[in-house]
Chain A
Amino acid sequence: MEAARKWIQVIVAILTNGSWSFPFTKTLYQGPLKVICAPGLNCYSCPAATTYCPMGSIQQLLGGLRFALENGQYYFGFSVLGSIGVLGGLLGRMICGWACPFGFIQELLHKIPSRKFRIPRILSHGKYVFLLLFVVVLPLVLVDEFGTGSPWFCKFVCPAGTLEAGIPMLLLQPNLRSTIGLLFLNKFVIMLLFLTWAVFSSRPFCRTACPLGAFYALFSKVRLIKLHLDEAKCTNCKACHHVCPMGVKFNESPNDPECITCLACMNKACQFDAISLEIGGIPLAVPDKGLSPASKP
């Protein structure tokens, strides 16, 4: 199952970044596929991006809301919110674990041999602050003389944008290099920080700062596909605590908003078949491993 997840991560990363003509065109993909919402955090200013980033798009729409309303256009971001809402209702943060290119990059970095550190649980609240403040409130409230707000998260924080779009665009268009300033330096440092942190801790950006992860986390209790804990079978051995890349204690919190449904607890840890995957409450898969019924306690 872990191999399947890796393959899906690779396939989604390729599909959402499938325009490889950029070395010749020196610019973005500009075809009709860009009306499709990327499920994960994937900058749409990346030269290879074939889909739009929901967080970038929401900020742009909210930033331009006053201007749009003055022109009789009701661009509240409903189509974007609807797209990620449907995805959230279906999969929730399973998207983070299976379909986010930046999450995948962090997973790969974490494989670099080094001493590993835990991330304090309290830092996981940071991503909700970024979602509310940097994605919604600031683009909507702080506007320039034309009534237009800035995409605050993209502009000042997003390391995925710097990695996937900022650096490639600077390489492709040398004339842009003269515009490098404090703004880029700030984002470059943030990107380096998160990429370095990913070597030592598992998925630090997903856990502490990703606004899209925060949005999907809101669906943890109601999403269609999720993991189920059979309390009758659970022995509270805590084996699931040690394998979770998100620091979830699954036996204590089966609907944890941090769970990315990577299935590590189900397939690598639980010896008692207490964890299963379910669709809308109906079991989909139970790991075919662990103790035989006769030997179970």
Chain B
Amino acid sequence: MSQATREPRTKRTLRKAPFVVITAFLLLWLIGVATGEPARVLEQALQVCLSCIGIG
């Protein structure tokens, strides 16, 4: 590659790490959904958790 066609050293490149992390957690979320976890989360979220809020 000639000197003229080289990219300047200051040019910022796309970071791949965020995409790897996001994909990994997306897969984790899919596993959770596949095991039926959201239904359990919804079940909990629909009830007043008295001990959680310091009353019971």
Q: Could you list which residues of chain A lie within 8 angstroms of chain B, going by C-beta atoms? A: 27-28, 30, 32, 34-35, 43-45, 52, 56-57, 60-61, 68, 73-83, 85-86, 88-90, 150-151, 154-155, 158, 161-162, 165-166, 169-170, 176, 179-180, 183-184, 186-188, 219, 221-224, 228, 232, 278, 280-283
> In the assembly, what is the distance between CA of A219 and CA of B21, in Å?
9
A73 near B36: Cβ-Cβ < 8 Å: yes
* In the complex, B15 has a CB within 8 A of chain A: yes
> In the assembly, what is the distance between CA of A282 and CA of B12, in Å?
6
Contact of A61 among B21, B40, B48 (CB under 8 A): B40
Whose C-beta in chain B lies nearest to the C-beta of A184? B54
B41 near A57: Cβ-Cβ < 8 Å: yes
> In the assembly, what is the distance between CA of A278 and CA of B15, in Å?
10
Query: Can you list 20 contacts pairing A with B, beta carbon distance less than 8 Å?
Result: A27-B48, A28-B48, A43-B52, A44-B44, A52-B45, A61-B40, A61-B44, A73-B35, A74-B35, A78-B37, A80-B41, A81-B32, A85-B25, A165-B52, A166-B54, A179-B50, A222-B18, A232-B10, A282-B12, A283-B12
Contact with A along B4-24 (1 / 0, CB 8 A): 000000101111011101101
> In the assembly, what is the distance between CA of A27 and CA of B50, in Å?
12
Interface of A is mostly: helix
Chain B residue numbers with a CB within 8 Å of A76 are 32, 35
Q: How far is the CB of B21 from chain A (nearest CB, A)?
A: 4
Contact of A75 among B25, B35, B46 (CB under 8 A): B35
B42 near A154: Cβ-Cβ < 8 Å: no
Q: Could you list which residues of chain B lie within 8 angstroms of chain A, going by C-beta atoms? A: 10, 12-15, 17-19, 21-22, 24-33, 35-38, 40-42, 44-56
A180 near B35: Cβ-Cβ < 8 Å: no
A176 near B50: Cβ-Cβ < 8 Å: yes
Q: How far is the CB of A276 from chain B (nearest CB, A)?
A: 10
Q: How far is the CB of B5 from chain A (nearest CB, A)?
A: 21
Q: How far is the CB of A125 from chain B (nearest CB, A)?
A: 23
- Report if A78-B54 is in contact (Cβ < 8 Å); known contacts: A34-B42, A90-B22, A169-B48: no
Contact of B41 among A35, A151, A169, A228 (CB under 8 A): A35
> In the assembly, what is the distance between CA of A162 and CA of B27, in Å?
34
Interface centre among B10, B28, B54 (most CB of A within 10 A): B54
Whose C-beta in chain A lies nearest to the C-beta of B15? A281
Besides the contacts A43-B53, A56-B49, A73-B40, what 6 more A-B pairs have beta carbons closer than 8 Å? A56-B52, A78-B31, A79-B29, A90-B18, A187-B53, A224-B19
- Report if A61-B18 is in contact (Cβ < 8 Å); known contacts: A81-B25, A86-B25, A283-B12: no
